[in-house]
């Protein structure tokens, strides 16, 4: 977000004309409330939709029939700065009130959760991150921005850039996985895609980086839970994605629900003012998460609503999402001297900056022809991009006996209730899609020309239909089993303690296997699952996540071999439940897991992940050789040769890691420092090289100070965080 002098002057001139009430109004975000027999705030409805209490259909019906209060009078009175919603005509109506009927004509900033696409839903973030494709991250974000703007949304509550190590946490689905380096590149690309560099173009939105900060480290993976960590962990693992987003010019940030070391992020002055605004240089504003200011009372950090509002405003929380606490209490707090006018002015200035920069004053409305175009369907090209993103996000975990790609003449028995449900392809936090745009796996396989017969048999919920199972095994040459989680089993408020396949799906797989027919298992899920049994017994495992509207076509593309899978895991998979959290970049212990009993391991589970970060197979194979490390003045140049040793072309995601062998703080056993997508024809060999800037080889200490310490570094390059070549170099950072 680059602000010109002219923009800044415009902000100041508006600010100078505002009353205190109008200023506080800008700090207030309203959600339409459903009134008349259904007294639930819109934000809760959205959560109900997300966690499965409401289906998409029920939600749409409710929205079209229920009487809603859109707070028109308050908008007219200048008491609302932002609303939530995704209906373009309603957006225009409300915007008209704000622009043409309020005293100062300040447009609303309309926000919505467009996490992985609006109408054109893309793969959930944890899946897309596995493509390691920055250009794709940017392109899908840009398309989401374009569709958002066409629906009146100028502010996306995305990207979600919480690094997370514990897949019990349901929200791992919404973010880029376990790694800080990948997460930071993902964050930057998403900001570029959402915001572009021309603020006034109608195709871009303000990004809202979330959830600031440490939410991914909630204790035990239980949503909304407490977070405690040492400063070095905060600075090295959880803050960098936000630092990267701010460097890229992210316009806004959303504070996380959790407390960090005892202080809820919502009222955490150190996090909001000192780090985010002062140190990282956020130019725009911070919004609370839904209801979070009021929750400070429940946290036991504020005595009452007023106290919570005072603490939040003073900590640098610029906008209140949905509680009315600012609207109801801030004026008196200012009059009583508990909150200064400077605090209010700073918040409003930040909010106005974003509105001015977005060009909302010049272009507050969605043009009617744009609304009509979307009513006819999504523009050409959107489904193709969704399909490409989905293809690039499928991870081949196991392919024994070359069962895949499927023989095009084979009779396929497709089983699993997930295979035929449009509600399950889009995954958590997808709210603008239309049924007619969604391709299920059953539909996709039929589209591909395969001879498919469908037998639902069993799913994540419900029973097991033995008759269908028997027919499936009797009739097919090969069985394709779709198993996993429903959409509602991941996302917000969807932590799970048992990460094995839910329901009777394992039993179904056992029975399918016992038939002696080849079984291809395709997983649809929103988090790393515990697949110890499956990895041991099933010949083929394909991780297909929730891939978006084109899921079915993309899965068929991979199963038939039309597409050679290339994605890698952005998050490690445990073998069993008790291994969580499991992640590759853990700090070195004094007793690394080994043969001896007295080492860091479990008696009854492996110490290492079943499938580690960066892991993923292809229909071809790659061989790495010749790792070379060259020291230049300000960087290391690392080269490695990769040969496609199989019989078909493919794209390999080559990864670069390092280890700081001895430092003044314990460092991770490996840290990702680079990646590249490398296309190789069958038999082709290429030398690729990575530049590792020396300034990126340091770490933050417990005072938040960045340190570059001379010493030995191990450099690794390879196909996953586990399977790498290794070299060593002594690096001196002194000039
Ligand atoms: C709660 C979620 O934590 C957040 O991610 C989301 O943006 C808001 N609600 C608004 O829906």
449 and 533 share a domain?
A: yes
Task: Look at ligand 1, atom 9, and give the residue with the nearest C-alpha.
Answer: 290
Answer with the one of 541, 560, 579 that is the final residue of a domain: 560
pLDDT interval class at 35 (50, 70, 90): low
Residue 567 lies in a domain: no
Whether 267 contacts 315, CB under 8 Å: yes
Nearest Cα residue to 648 out of 707, 565, 704, 712? 565
Ligand 1 contacts CB of residue 171 (under 6 A) = no
- Output the pLDDT for position 735: 67
pTM score = 0.96
**530-585 residue pLDDT tens:** 999 999 999 999 999 999 999 999 999 999 999 999 999 999 999 999 999 999 99
DSSP string across 250-317:
--EEEE-SSEETTEEGGG-HIIIIIIIIIIS---S-EEPPTTHHHHHHHHTSSSSHHHHHHHHHHHT-
What pLDDT shows up at residue 698? 98
For position 52, what pLDDT does the model report?
Answer: 76
Q: Which pLDDT value is given to residue 67?
A: 78
| 568 belongs to a structural domain | no
Question: Which residues on neighbouring strands pair with residue 521, listed in sequence order?
Answer: 481, 541
CB 346, CB 334: distance < 8 Å: no
Average pLDDT of span 116-135: 98
Q: Decide if pLDDT at 265 tops 80.
A: yes
Q: Tell me: pLDDT of 631 over 90.
A: yes
- The token pair that represents 189 in the structure block: 């690309």
Contact yes or no for 538/511 (Cβ under 8 A): no
45 pLDDT more than 80: no
Residue to substitute in 210, 211, 320, 432 for testing ligand 1 pocket (most ligand atoms within 8 angstroms of CB): 210
DSSP state of 359: T
- Quick check: is 9 in a domain? no
Tell me: do 444 and 365 sit in the same domain.
no
Mean pLDDT of 182-190: 98
Residue 615 domain flag: no
**What is residue 202's predicted lDDT score, i.e. its pLDDT?**
81
How far the first Cα of the chain sits from its last, in Å, is 34
- Is 157 near ligand 1, meaning CB less than 6 Å away? yes
Looking at residue 201, its pLDDT comes to 65
* Residues contacting residue 421 through CB under 8 Å, at least 6 positions apart: 440
CA of 82 to the centre of ligand 1 (A): 15
Place of tokens 């990460």: 499
Of the candidates 338, 371, 404, which is a domain's last residue?
Answer: 371
pLDDT at position 54 is 81
Residue 572 maps to a domain? no
Q: Ligand 1 in contact with 212 (CB < 6 A)? A: no
Q: Tens digits of per-residue pLDDT, 51-61?
A: 778 887 787 77
> Are 630 and 507 contained in the same domain?
no
Q: Say whether both 510 and 543 belong to one domain.
A: yes
What CATH number should be reported for the domain holding residue 307? 3.20.20.300
Cis bond upstream, residue 491 (ω within 30): no
Regarding whether 551 and 405 lie in a shared domain, the answer is: yes
User: For residue 512, is it within any domain?
Assistant: yes
The predicted pLDDT at position 98 comes to 98
Residue 32: its pLDDT value, please?
A: 78
| 198 vs 701, residue with greater confidence | 701
Domain with 668, as residue range(s), is: 622-731
Total of domains in the chain: 3
Q: How far is the CA of 487 from the centre of ligand 1 (A)?
A: 17
* Tokens at 90, concatenated: 């309603």
pLDDT at 69: 86
Supply the pLDDT for residue 173: 98
Query: Is 319 part of a structural domain of the chain?
Result: yes
Residue 424 has pLDDT above 80, yes or no: yes
Residue 219 belongs to a domain: yes
Q: Over range 126-137, report the average pLDDT.
A: 98
> Same domain for 162 and 278?
yes
Query: What pLDDT band is residue 38 in, cutting at 50, 70 and 90?
Result: low
**Residues ≥6 apart with Cβ < 8 Å to 682:** 620, 644, 646, 647, 648, 649
Supply the CATH number for residue 668's domain: 2.60.40.10
Do 346 and 392 sit in the same domain of this protein? no
Please report the atom of ligand 1 found closest to the CA of residue 111. 10
By the 10 Å C-beta count (0-12 exposed, 13-18 middle, 19+ buried), 632 is classed as exposed
For ligand 1, pick from 264, 289, 494 the residue to mutate: most ligand atoms within 8 Å of CB: 289
Is there an atom of ligand 1 within 6 Å of 112 CB?
no
Pair (399, 338) in one structural domain:
no
Give 443-491 pLDDT, tens digit per residue: 999 999 999 999 999 999 999 999 999 999 999 999 999 999 999 999 9
- Return the H-helix or E-strand segment holding 690: strand 685-693
Task: Indicate which residue's Cα is closest to atom 10 of ligand 1.
Answer: 290
d(CA 123, CA 116): 7
CA of 482 to the centre of ligand 1 (A): 30
Do the Cβ atoms of 519 and 412 come closer than 8 Å? no
List, in order, residues 6 or more apart from 112 with CB less than 8 Å away.
84, 85, 86, 118, 148, 151, 153, 155, 156, 157, 431
- Whether 37 shows a pLDDT value over 60: the answer reads no
Edge-to-edge order in the sheet of strand 635-644: 622-631, 635-644, 685-693
**Are 82 and 172 contained in the same domain?**
yes
263 Cα–ligand 1 center, Å: 20
pLDDT given for residue 39 in this prediction: 62
Decide which of 509, 535, 560 is a domain's last residue.
Answer: 560
The finding on whether 136 has its CB within 6 A of some atom of ligand 1 is no
**Phi, psi (rounded to 5 degrees) for 526:** -110, 10
d(CA 310, CA 338): 7
Structure tokens at 75: 């908008």
What residues form DSSP beta bridges with 642?
Answer: 624, 686
Atom of ligand 1 nearest to the CA of 113: 7
Q: Which is the catalytic residue, given 113, 289, 437, 557?
A: 289
For residues 361 and 392, membership in a common domain is answered with no
Is the minimum distance from the CB of 161 to ligand 1 under 6 angstroms? no
Order of strands across the sheet that contains 286-287: 286-287, 252-255, 206-212, 155-156, 109-112, 82-84, 28-30, 320-321
Residue 723 annotated in active site: no
pLDDT of residue 36: 58
At 444, which CATH number?
A: 3.40.50.1700
DSSP letter for 160, please: B
> Is any atom of ligand 1 closer than 6 Å to the C-beta of 215?
no
Q: Please give the average per-residue pLDDT across 222-236, as a whole number.
A: 98
Say whether pLDDT at 101 is over 70.
Answer: yes
pLDDT the model gives residue 170: 98
- Model pLDDT, residue 658: 98
Tell me the average pLDDT of the chain. 96
Q: Which tokens is 422 given?
A: 């449009």
Distance (angstroms) between ligand 1 centre and the Cα of 208 equals: 11
- H-run or E-run covering 693: strand 685-693
- Indicate if 314 and 392 belong to the same structural domain: no
Average pLDDT value for residue range 203-214: 97
In this predicted structure, the answer to whether residue 64 has a pLDDT above a threshold of 80 is: no
Angle between helices 325-335 and 292-299 (to 10 degrees): 70
Does residue 289 have its Cβ closer than 6 Å to ligand 1?
yes
Q: Is-contact 727 715, C-beta < 8 A?
A: yes
What percentage of the chain reaches a pLDDT higher than 90?
Answer: 93
Percent of residues, the chain, with pLDDT higher than 70:
98
pLDDT at 525 over 80: yes
> Does residue 399 sit in the same domain as residue 357?
no
**628 burial via Cβ count (<10 Å: 0-12, 13-18, 19+):** middle
């Amino acid at each position: 977000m680059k602000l010109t002098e002219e923009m800044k002057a415009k902000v100041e001139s508006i600010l100078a004309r505002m009353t205190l009430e109008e200023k506080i109004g800008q700090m207030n975000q309203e959600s339409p409330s459903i009134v008349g027999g259904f007294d639930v705030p819109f934000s809760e409805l959205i959560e109900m939709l997300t966690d499965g209490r409401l289906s998409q259909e029920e939600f749409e019906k409710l929205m079209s029939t229920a009487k809603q209060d859109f707070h028109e009078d308050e908008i007219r009175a200048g008491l609302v700065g932002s609303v939530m919603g995704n209906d373009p005509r309603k957006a225009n109506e409300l915007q008209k009130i704000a622009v043409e009927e309020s005293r100062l004509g300040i447009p609303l900033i309309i926000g919505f959760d467009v996490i992985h696409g609006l109408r054109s839903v893309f793969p959930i973030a944890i899946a897309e991150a596995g493509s390691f494709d920055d250009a794709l991250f940017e392109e899908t974000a840009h398309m989401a921005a374009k569709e958002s703007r066409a629906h009146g949304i100028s502010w996306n509550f995305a990207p979600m850039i919480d690094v997370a190590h514990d897949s019990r946490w349901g929200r791992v689905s919404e973010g880029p996985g376990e790694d800080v380096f990948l997460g930071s590149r993902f964050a930057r690309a998403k900001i570029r895609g959402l915001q572009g560099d021309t603020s006034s173009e109608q195709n871009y939105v303000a990004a809202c980086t979330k959830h600031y900060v440490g939410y991914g480290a909630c204790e035990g993976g239980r949503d909304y839970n407490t977070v405690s960590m040492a400063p070095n962990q905060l600075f090295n693992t959880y803050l960098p994605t936000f630092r990267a987003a701010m460097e890229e010019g992210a316009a806004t940030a959303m504070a996380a629900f959790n407390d960090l070391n005892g202080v809820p992020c919502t009222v955490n002055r150190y996090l909001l003012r000192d780090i985010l605004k002062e140190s990282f240089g956020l130019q725009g504003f911070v919004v609370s998460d839904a209801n979070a200011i009021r929750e400070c009372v429940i946290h036991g950090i504020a005595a009452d609503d007023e106290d919570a509002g005072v603490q939040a405003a003073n900590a640098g929380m610029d906008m209140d999402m949905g509680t009315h606490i600012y609207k109801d209490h801030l004026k008196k707090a200012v009059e009583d001297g508990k909150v200064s006018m400077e605090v209010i002015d700073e918040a409003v200035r930040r909010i106005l900056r974003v509105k001015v920069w977005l060009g909302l004053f010049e272009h507050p409305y969605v043009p009617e022809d744009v609304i009509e175009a979307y009513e006819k369907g999504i523009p050409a090209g959107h489904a193709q991009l969704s399909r490409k993103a989905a293809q690039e996000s499928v991870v081949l975990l196991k392919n024994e006996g070359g069962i895949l790609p499927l023989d095009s003449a084979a009779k396929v028995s497709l089983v699993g209730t997930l295979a035929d449900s449009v509600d399950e392809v889009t995954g958590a936090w997808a709210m603008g899609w239309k049924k007619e745009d969604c391709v299920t796996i059953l539909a996709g396989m039929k589209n591909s020309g395969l001879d498919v017969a469908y037998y639902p048999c069993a799913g994540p919920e419900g029973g097991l239909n033995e008759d269908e199972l028997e027919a499936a095994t009797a009739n097919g040459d090969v069985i394709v089993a779709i198993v996993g989680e429903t959409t509602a089993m991941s996302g917000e408020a969807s932590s799970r303690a048992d990460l094995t396949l839910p329901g009777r799906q394992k039993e179904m797989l056992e029975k399918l296997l016992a038939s002696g027919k080849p079984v291809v298992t395709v997983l649809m899920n929103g988090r790393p699952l515990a697949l110890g049994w499956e990895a041991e017994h099933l010949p083929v495992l394909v991780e297909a996540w929730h891939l978006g509207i084109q899921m079915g076509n993309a899965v068929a593309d991979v199963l038939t071999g039309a597409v050679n899978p290339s994605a890698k895991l952005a998050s490690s998979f445990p073998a069993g439940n008790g291994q969580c959290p499991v992640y590759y970049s853990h700090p070195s212990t004094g007793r690394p897991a080994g043969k001896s009993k007295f080492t860091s391991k479990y008696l009854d589970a492996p110490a290492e992940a079943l499938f580690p970060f960066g892991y993923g197979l292809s229909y071809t194979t790659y061989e790495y050789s010749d790792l070379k490390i060259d020291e230049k003045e300000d960087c290391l140049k690392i080269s490695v040769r990769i040969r496609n040793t199989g019989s078909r072309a493919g794209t390999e995601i080559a990864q670069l890691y390092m280890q700081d062998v001895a430092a003044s703080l314990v460092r991770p056993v490996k840290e990702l420092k680079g990646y590249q997508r490398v296309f190789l024809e069958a038999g082709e060999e290429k030398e690729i090289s990575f530049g590792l800037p020396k300034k990126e080889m340091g770490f933050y200490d417990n005072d938040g100070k960045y340190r570059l310490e001379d010493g030995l570094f191990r450099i690794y390059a390879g196909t996953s965080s586990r399977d790498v070549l290794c070299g060593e170099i002594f690096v001196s950072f002194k000039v």
